[in-house]
A and B are shown apart, each in its own frame.
Chain A
Amino acid sequence: MNVIVCIKQVPNTTQVRINPETNTLIREGVESVINPFDMYAIEEGIRLKEKLGGKVTVLTMGPPQAEEALKEAISLGCDEAVLLTDRNFAGSDTWATSYVLSQAVKKIGDYHIILCGKQASDGDTAQVGPGISTHLNIPQVTYVKKIEEINDKKARVERMTEEGFEIIETPVPCLFTVVKEINEPRLPSLKGKMRAKKAEIRKMTAEDLNCDFDKIGLDGSPTRVVKIFTPPARKGGEILKGDIQEIVERLAKELKGEI
């Protein structure tokens, strides 16, 4: 079972700050980490390899320092790492990014499953995973919380929905985006860290990937960010306390709009 895991390096914070002038993320002064949701994709990839053999290739598009994220993935047990880095990629939106990643997947070849986290903690779009599968024209299942069965022909997975879950069977190769319910990511090992230190990270540019230059970077991105703003914080609910009879009556009145 050959697995490709797509990851993103993100700022290590839940309080993302936006530059109001450029409408882009402020990355300065914030430590970078692997997108937390991608950690579940990495873990699931490693588990598939441990169970079924094969290898796990981890893939990211980003600036040269994204190499650190790939090395961390290797320290956890991924076998190979590919960094897509090129000034021409700068400014890519989710469509252009997923195009570049899909070109890399084609270049790497020989895979059964592509795994992605359900979304990135900075942009929160949840679009790149599905975008990759669309560019590759392979099936996708989003919000996967369990891989029930998998072989080189087909897979059966549980997919989380708001109401519960669906069981979906899909041909392989295919792409899954995973939710945190799928597993508990491991910590790196010392031997893994040493392997990561020595690991060669393959680097690829737009040219290496035979990218159509009209489809990448800021100019190749159809998205235009017009404005970014912080929505007003939600007001907390009210907890009714006291005698059960009284609070039920009060609740009923509130619901009827009598108060």
Chain B
Amino acid sequence: MSNILFTEEQKMVQELTRKIAREKIAPVAAEYDEKEEFPWPIVKILAESDIFGVYIAEKYGGMGGGVFEMAIATEELSWGCGGISLAFAATGLGTFPIILFGNDEQKKKYLTRIAKGTVAAFCITEAEAGSDAGSIKTTAVKDGDHYILNGTKQWITNGGEADIYTVIAMTDKKKGARGATAFIVEKGTKGLDFGKKEKKLGIRGSATREVIFTDCRVPKENVISKEGMGFIVAMKTFDYSRPGVAAQALGIAQRALDESVKYAHERKQFGKSISSFQGIQFMLADMAIQVEAARAIVYRSAQIVDAGEKNIAKLSATAKTFASDVAMKVTIDAVQIFGGYGYMREYPVEKLMRDAKITQIYEGTNQIQRGVIAASLIKELKQK
């Protein structure tokens, strides 16, 4: 899509993250996928290029962009690798609670570090609390000036690698969702440990790990917002982060399209390049239509979030669902266009298909998203 509507700053973000994706990430993506390692050398490059600060306010050392700038960067980096890009994108997920609900001291202390390239993570999911985030078992019990955290968080992106963790724990179980509180916990805090490293289908250049709290004492200054606000912090964070997941899906989808067009043009069968066959042409055109539609909705939703629209749950969910479904569809088509080669790890498209799948699942499955959308529709009807 043309970037003619972008500001100068947005063009810079796009240009630089595109350069990093093409020159630094794409060449090593298969290697990280194979080794399942955390991409520290790429994190260093992103930090030195100021990318971590794209969505952080200037007074905390960032460039003052918002969800849209973050989405632009995530899309480009995910073109390079949908796993490696998470070092950046999931840091955003861990950072939004502080941006949205943190007090000035917390912002000064943590956002300045994150803008310089400190990795963050968001801890909400547990073994028995996935889509049903209300059934969190991790507890936080007040003890003087501290809270004592106990429990195990599961499938935490950037887990073990991040230095800053935003954690949702129950301060009052009786109140259910209203008894949840958000905390900031720094790596190195006694009682914060890391468990099993997960072996995954895709996004293998990202770390997914258990985060374990055992009598972990967290000072009360580290409460985000106030006691009982944890669930609201989490839901609002997801409203802001979903365009980011959508952008990750979009980057993967664009890569699938680019690789497919290139391959279809090069691949010769029956004495002609396969891009001259209408069967392939229609597939490529349909992929392009879907990718462009996804981009339109991702960009628009991010811009609307940044413009300050309050009721964004439906739009965020729509962007996330549509873009991730598109990513899945076009990556499957990419493998099909590559034929037997597409099935081989030597070629880049099977990885895209594996990486795309998670975007339909995490930060709320697409079924949960459709539930959110439907609930909004019914609510809107009742308000009419």
Contacts and interface: CB of A to CB of B under 8 A. Distances in A.
B45 interface: yes
Contact of B51 (A190, A192, A197): A190
Contacts of A186: 48
Contacts of B12: 190, 193-194, 197
Contacts of B8: 197
B9 interface: yes
Contacts of B306: none
A252 B19 CA distance: 51
Contacts of B19: 187
Nearest to B17: A190
Contacts of B9: 194
B48 A193 contact: no
Interface in A184-205: 186-194, 197
Nearest to B8: A197
A186 B23 CA distance: 12
A255 B19 CA distance: 49
Contacts of B50: 189-192
Given A193-B12, A194-B12, A197-B8, A187 B24 contact: yes
Nearest to A190: B50
Interface string B33-56: 000000000000100111101100
A189 B48 contact: yes
A30 to B, nearest CB: 19
B54 A190 contact: yes
B20 interface: yes
Nearest to B13: A190
B111 to A, nearest CB: 16
B301 to A, nearest CB: 23
B280 interface: no
A188 to B, nearest CB: 6
Contacts, number: 35
Contacts of A191: 50, 63
A188 B63 contact: no
Interface residues of A, number: 10
Interface in B50-77: 50-51, 53-54, 63
Contacts of B20: 187
A192 B19 CA distance: 15
The residue among B8, B48, B49, B53 with the most chain A CB atoms within 10 A of its own CB is B49
Given A187-B20, A188-B16, A194 B48 contact: no
Contacts of B53: 190
A40 to B, nearest CB: 16
Nearest to A186: B48
Contacts of A194: 9, 12, 63
Contacts of B48: 186-187, 189
Interface in A51-91: none
Contacts of B51: 190
Contacts of B45: 187
Contacts of A187: 16, 19-20, 23-24, 45, 48-49
Contacts of A190: 12-13, 16, 49-51, 53-54, 63
Interface centre among A188, A190, A192, A193 (most CB of B within 10 A): A190
Nearest to A187: B49
Interface string B1-41: 00000001100110110011001100000000000000000
Contacts of A192: 50
A191 B9 CA distance: 10
A219 B241 CA distance: 63
Nearest to B12: A193
A187 B54 CA distance: 16
Contacts of B16: 187-190, 193
A186 B9 CA distance: 20
Nearest to B11: A193
A187 B23 CA distance: 10
A197 B12 CA distance: 10
Contacts of A189: 16, 48-50
Contacts of B23: 187
Contacts of A188: 16, 49
A188 B48 CA distance: 8
B164 to A, nearest CB: 21
A194 B13 CA distance: 10
A197 B15 CA distance: 14
A126 to B, nearest CB: 26
Nearest to B61: A191
Nearest to B15: A193
B50 to A, nearest CB: 4
Which 3 pairs from chain A and chain B are nearest by CB? A190-B50, A189-B50, A193-B12
Interface of B: 8-9, 12-13, 15-16, 19-20, 23-24, 45, 48-51, 53-54, 63
25 contacts: A186-B48, A187-B16, A187-B19, A187-B23, A187-B48, A187-B49, A188-B49, A189-B16, A190-B12, A190-B13, A190-B16, A190-B49, A190-B50, A190-B51, A190-B53, A190-B63, A191-B63, A192-B50, A193-B12, A193-B15, A193-B16, A194-B9, A194-B12, A197-B8, A197-B12
Given A190-B51, A194-B9, 7 more contacts: A187-B20, A188-B49, A190-B49, A190-B54, A193-B12, A193-B15, A193-B16
